[in-house]
């Protein structure tokens, strides 16, 4: 099916008299089909074919670049993804919100902390794009993986509108690295935003227990009881012949 799509792609490119590819007439958007093919191949994991289609396209818009940058990042080629982002800027293509989300994800997966920080800051300073919660969560996770919790905290604290998802990402990072001080601050901020999420208490309790701070663990549990919160128990179900199996 994919080979047939590529054959049609080539036939459409050469069918018209003008230079705009996919000569279906002036009614058809010259980016539409190429972008769809790049996106489809990238999402299916066929990165080589996505790159082939990308290279065949005579003209590319920001969505073409987003598809290839995101596809490379998603399928283990994060460094190449960052290279394509840089090339997009060299081609004078103005990035959008999705462009930065893709490249931040790539930097996160590849551990390219400096590149990620640079991309995050130029969003607003150079391109006038306000980071949203997904951008903040991504860079907090990236900095957290690198053990740069103070830097992550500074970024989260600078948000115009505090978001529970971002603070929760910071709290999870604090648990990973056993940072009680920042973990407590993050949990208090989460309480002020939304105090009814049991998982936030569980994360903080995990930080305390990793240091043997059992009195603080008990304090957290009492706070949960006072609010009527219970730890949510995970449950997985699989089918086995005619029977169903569950595991907690």
Domains of the chain, earliest start first: 1-130 (1.25.40.10), 132-229 (1.25.40)
pLDDT of residue 21: 44
What pLDDT does residue 25 have?
Answer: 42
Q: Which of 26, 23, 91 is nearest to 62 (CA)?
A: 91
Which residues have a Cβ under 8 Å from the Cβ of 160 and sit 6 or more positions away? Answer: 130
Question: What pLDDT is recorded for position 86?
Answer: 96
What is the model's pTM? 0.76
pLDDT at 22: 42
Instruction: Indicate the angle between helix axes 2-13 and 47-56, nearest 10 degrees.
Output: 10
pLDDT given at position 64: 94
Closest CA to 156 of 172, 129, 102, 23: 172
Q: So what's the pLDDT on residue 24?
A: 46
CA-to-CA distance for 131 and 123, rounded, in angstroms?
7
**Cα diameter, the chain:** 78
Q: What is the pLDDT along the chain (248 residues), one digit of tens a residue?
A: 556 555 655 655 555 544 444 444 444 456 788 888 898 888 888 999 999 999 999 889 999 999 999 999 999 899 999 999 999 999 999 999 999 999 999 999 999 999 999 999 999 999 999 999 999 999 999 999 999 999 999 999 989 888 889 998 998 899 889 898 998 898 888 888 876 778 878 887 888 888 788 888 888 888 888 877 777 655 556 665 555 555 55
């Amino acid at each position: 099916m994919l080979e047939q799509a590529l054959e049609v792609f080539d036939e459409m490119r050469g069918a018209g008299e003008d230079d705009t590819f996919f000569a279906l007439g002036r009614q058809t958007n010259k980016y539409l089909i190429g972008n769809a093919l790049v996106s489809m191949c990238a999402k299916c994991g066929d990165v080589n074919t996505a790159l082939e289609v990308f290279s065949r396209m005579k003209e590319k818009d920001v969505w073409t670049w987003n598809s290839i940058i995101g596809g490379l990042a998603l399928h283990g080629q994060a460094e190449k993804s960052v290279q394509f982002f840089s090339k997009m800027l060299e081609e004078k293509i103005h990035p959008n919100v999705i462009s930065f989300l893709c490249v931040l994800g790539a930097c996160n997966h590849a551990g390219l902390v400096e590149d990620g920080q640079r991309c995050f800051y130029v969003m607003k300073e150079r391109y006038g794009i306000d980071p949203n919660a997904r951008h903040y969560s991504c860079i907090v996770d990236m900095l957290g993986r690198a053990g740069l919790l103070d830097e992550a905290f500074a970024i989260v604290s600078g948000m115009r509108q505090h978001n529970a998802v971002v603070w929760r990402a910071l709290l999870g990072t604090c648990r990973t690295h056993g940072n009680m001080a920042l973990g407590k601050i993050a949990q208090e901020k989460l309480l002020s935003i939304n105090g009814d999420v049991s998982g936030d208490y569980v994360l903080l309790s995990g930080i305390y227990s990793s240091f043997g701070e059992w009195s603080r663990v008990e304090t957290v549990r009492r706070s949960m009881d006072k609010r009527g919160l219970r730890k949510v128990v995970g449950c997985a179900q699989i089918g086995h012949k005619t029977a169903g199996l569950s595991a907690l």
